[in-house]
Structure 1
Amino acid sequence: MQIFQLIIVLLMGLAASALLTSLEIPILKHKQFQQFIREEGPKSHLSKEGTPTMGGIAICAALLLVTIAGGNFTADSVVMLVVTFLFALIGFFDDYIKVAKKHNLGLTAWQKLVLQILFAVGLAVYMAKFSGYGTDVWIPFINRYIDFGWLYIPFVAFVVVSMANAVNLTDGLDGLSSGVTALVAFFFAIVGMQFGHGAATIFCCALAGACLGFLIFNRFPAKLFMGDTGSMALGGALAAAAIMMKAELLLPIAGLIYVLEALSVVIQVLYFKATGGKRFFRMAPLHHHFEVGGMKEKNVVVMFWSIALICCVLAYVVMSI
C-alpha cells in the first residue's frame, strides 16, 4: 500500500464525514440535543451553551462506510469497528442522559468505568485467545516482540480504558480533540503500512479523514460538538488499531497530548487532596490551565495541534530506529 492510496482513503473519510455532519446538525437542533456547560468550567465557555452535541455519530458513520469501502476489509476491521461502536455506545448513553435531564451529568464515573473495562477485557481476550496474534507486544527502541503472557490481558485492558478516558478529557476546546486525533490516526496509518497491516492502515486513514471532515464544523467557533459519543469512540478506535498492530507502546509517544491531559487531572486531584484545597494547575484538564491563564482558545488549540504533530514525528523516528 502506497501513500497515494492512504491519501485517497483519507479524502474519502473527510468527504463522508463532512457530508454526514452537515446532515446531522439540523437533526440534532430539531431534537434539541444541546450541550450543557458545567458551571465550574471557564466562564468564557458559557456562551457555548446550546450548541448541538453528539456529533460523534457522524464520525462513527463515516468511519464505518469508508473502512468498508476502502478495501482490505477483514475480520480485524470488524473487531476494530466493534470496539469503536461499543465505546461510542457508552458515550451515547452518557450524552443522552445529559440531554434528557438537561444538565452536564450523565452516567456515573463507576458506570462508565465498568462498561469500559468489560469491553476492553473482551478485546484483550479475543486478541490473546482467538485472533491468532498471540500475546506479543512490539517494544520500541529495541525493535523486538516480547510475549507478555498472562499480563497481556490486563495490559490491553489498561491501554483501551486509558485511551478512551484520555481522549474524552482532551475534548474540551473547539477542534482540539478532532484535530489531535486526525494527526495521531494518520500516524498509525503509516505504522500499519510499515508493519504490513492493511486492515488497520485503512481503518486509521478512514478515522483521520472522519476527524478532519468533522473538524470543518467543530473548529472555533464550533457549530457542533462530538460529545462523549465521539470522544469515547475515538479513544476506543485508536487503542483498538494500535493493539491490532501490536504497537501499543507507540500510543503514549504519538498521543502525548492525551497523556498530559489525563495526567493533569490526576495531579490536580491528588494535589488538591494532599494540600487541603490548593490547586497545582489553574484548572484541569491541561488545556483549561492555559485558557484560564489568558491564552485565547484558538491559540491553545493550535499549540496542542503543533505539539501533537511533533510527537507523531518523534514516534515515527522511534519506530524507525
Structure 2
Amino acid sequence: MLEQVIFFTIILGFLITVLLSPIFIPFLRRLKFGQSIREEGPKSHQKKSGTPTMGGLMILLSVTITTLVMTGKFSEPTSKTFILLFVLLGFGLLGFLDDFIKVVMKRNLGLTSKQKLLGQIIISVVVYFVLKQTEFSTAVSIPFVDKSIDLGFFYVLFIIFWLVGFSNAVNLTDGLDGLVSGTAAISFGAFAVLAWSQSQYEISIFAVSIVGAVLGFLVFNAHPAKVFMGDTGSLALGGAIAAIAILTKLEIILILIGGVFVIETLSVILQVISFKSTGRRIFRMSPLHHHYELVGWSEWRVVVTFWSVGLLFAALGIYIEVWL
C-alpha cells in the first residue's frame, strides 16, 4: 500500500507540473515576467534575457496539492506535514516577492539582503517555536561517531543557520538550465529514502512530491530552458530540504547529500575572501558552475557533471545512514 502511495505521489507531482506548464508559461510571457540577466554574468547568458521566470509557482502548487492529497490517502496529515509546507510556502513567498520586484518593478537585485534575511529568520524562528511545543529534540546527531550534542536553547540559532544557509545555497546554485531541478530531485529523493527508513512516511511523501514536481519542471527547464524557477522556486526548495533534514534529525548529513549546494556556496565565499584580501580571484567566476562555463565547458556538460556529483553525494549519504 505505502509503496503504491509513493509511486503515485511521484506521478501526480510530475503530471501536475507538466500539465500546468503549457498554460502557465505563456501566461508569464504575456505578463512580461521575463528574467533579467546580469551584465557581469557570462556573455552566453545574455540570450536568455526575457525567458519567463517565477516558474517556481508551479512547483509550489504541485507540491502542496500532491502532499495533501497523497498524505490523506495514506493517513491524516501531521504537524510535520504542515511545518514542511509552511517552510516551503514561506520561503517561496519571499522568493516570489524578490522575483516580482526584479521583474515588475525593474529592480534587478530584488529584495535587499536585509529584507530577505529578516524574512528567512522570522520563518525559521516560527518553525523553532512550533517544534518546541511538540517537545522536539534539540540534539544534533554527529555521523560516524554515534554521538549527539544537545544544543538546548541554542538550537534556535542552529535552525536559523540551517534554513537560511541552505535556502541561499540552493538559490546560488540556480544559475544554469536544469541545474537545480536535477540536483534537487536527487537530494530530495535521498531524503525520501532516509525518511522511509525511519518510518516517517509523511516526510517521505512530501520529499517524493518535490521529486515529481521538479522532474516535471525539468521537462521545460532543461537546456534550452523555456522557463526559470526564479527565487520563488530555489529559496523554497532550499528551505524545504533543510526542514526535512531537521525533522529527520539528519541535519549534518545534509552537508553531504546537499554537497553540490555546499560547494557552490563555498566557491562564492572563497572568491570574495580571496579578492578582498589579495585582489585576486580563485575562480574565473563564481558560483563554481560559471567557472566551468568560462573554461570552455558547454552548459549541458556542466549540468550533467554536477548532477553526477550530486548523485554520488546522495548515494554516499544513504549508505552512511542506512548501511554503515
Measured against the shorter chain, the TM-score band is over 0.9
Q: Hey, what's the Cα distance between the residues in 2 that align with 1:46 and 1:88? A: 26
Choose 148-157 or 299-308, whichever is displaced more: 148-157
Q: How does 1:235-254 map to 2 (within 5 A)?
A: 235-254=238-257
**Amino acid of the structure 2 residue aligned with 1:174:** D
Q: Hey, what's the Cα distance between the residues in 2 that align with 1:77 and 1:261? A: 29
Q: Could you tell me which of 55, 62, 75 is aligned with 2:79?
A: 75
Q: Which residue of 1 aligns with 2:141?
A: 138
Query: 1:4 deviation in Å?
Result: 4.8
Q: Which residue of 2 aligns with 1:313?
A: 315
How many equivalent pairs are there?
319
Contact preservation (8 Å) 1:88, 1:233: yes
Q: Which residue of 2 aligns with 1:293?
A: 295
Per-residue displacement from partner, 1:292-317 (whole Å, max 9, x unpaired)?
11100000000000000000000011
**Amino acid of the structure 2 residue aligned with 1:175:** G
Q: Which residue of 1 aligns with 2:22?
A: 22
| Secondary structure in 1 matching 2:104 | helix
Per-residue displacement from partner, 1:105-124 (whole Å, max 9, x unpaired)?
21111211121112112212
Q: Which residue of 2 aligns with 1:60?
A: 60
Contact preservation (8 Å) 1:141, 1:319: no
Q: Hey, what's the Cα distance between the residues in 2 that align with 1:22 and 1:166? A: 29
Q: Which residue of 2 aligns with 1:264?
A: 267
Q: Hey, what's the Cα distance between the residues in 2 that align with 1:58 and 1:252? A: 27
Q: How does 1:1-321 map to 2 (within 5 A)?
A: 3-71=3-71, 72=75, 73-127=77-131, 129-276=132-279, 278-320=280-322, 321=324
| Secondary structure in 2 matching 1:83 | helix
| Secondary structure in 2 matching 1:138 | strand
| Secondary structure in 2 matching 1:137 | strand
| Secondary structure in 1 matching 2:318 | helix
Contact preservation (8 Å) 1:253, 1:312: yes
Query: 1:103 deviation in Å?
Result: 4.8
Contact preservation (8 Å) 1:36, 1:103: no
| Secondary structure in 2 matching 1:225 | coil
What's the TM-score once normalised by structure 2's chain length? 0.95
Per-residue displacement from partner, 1:144-167 (whole Å, max 9, x unpaired)?
554221221111111100010000
What's the TM-score once normalised by structure 1's chain length? 0.96
Q: Hey, what's the Cα distance between the residues in 2 that align with 1:281 and 1:3? A: 45
**Amino acid of the structure 2 residue aligned with 1:64:** T
Provide the alpha-carbon RMSD of the alignment.
1.4
Query: 1:7 deviation in Å?
Result: 2.6
Structure 2 gaps, min length 5:
none
Query: 1:232 deviation in Å?
Result: 0.6
Contact preservation (8 Å) 2:187, 2:257: yes
Contact preservation (8 Å) 1:181, 1:234: yes
**Amino acid of the structure 1 residue aligned with 2:311:** L
| Secondary structure in 2 matching 1:101 | coil
Q: Hey, what's the Cα distance between the residues in 2 that align with 1:208 and 1:144? A: 31
**Amino acid of the structure 1 residue aligned with 2:307:** W
Structure 1 gaps, min length 5:
none
Per-residue displacement from partner, 1:31-83 (whole Å, max 9, x unpaired)?
11000000000000000000000000000000000000112422211111011
**Amino acid of the structure 2 residue aligned with 1:119:** I
Query: 1:3 deviation in Å?
Result: 4.7
Query: 1:248 deviation in Å?
Result: 1.0
Deviant stretches of 4+, over 3 Å: 1-5, 142-146
Query: 1:23 deviation in Å?
Result: 1.9
Choose 99-108 or 21-30, whichever is displaced more: 99-108
Q: Hey, what's the Cα distance between the residues in 2 that align with 1:22 and 1:254? A: 32
**Amino acid of the structure 2 residue aligned with 1:7:** F
Per-residue displacement from partner, 1:84-121 (whole Å, max 9, x unpaired)?
11101111111000112335221111211121112112
Contact preservation (8 Å) 1:35, 1:49: yes
Q: Hey, what's the Cα distance between the residues in 2 that align with 1:140 and 1:208? A: 25
Query: 1:6 deviation in Å?
Result: 2.3
Query: 1:136 deviation in Å?
Result: 2.5
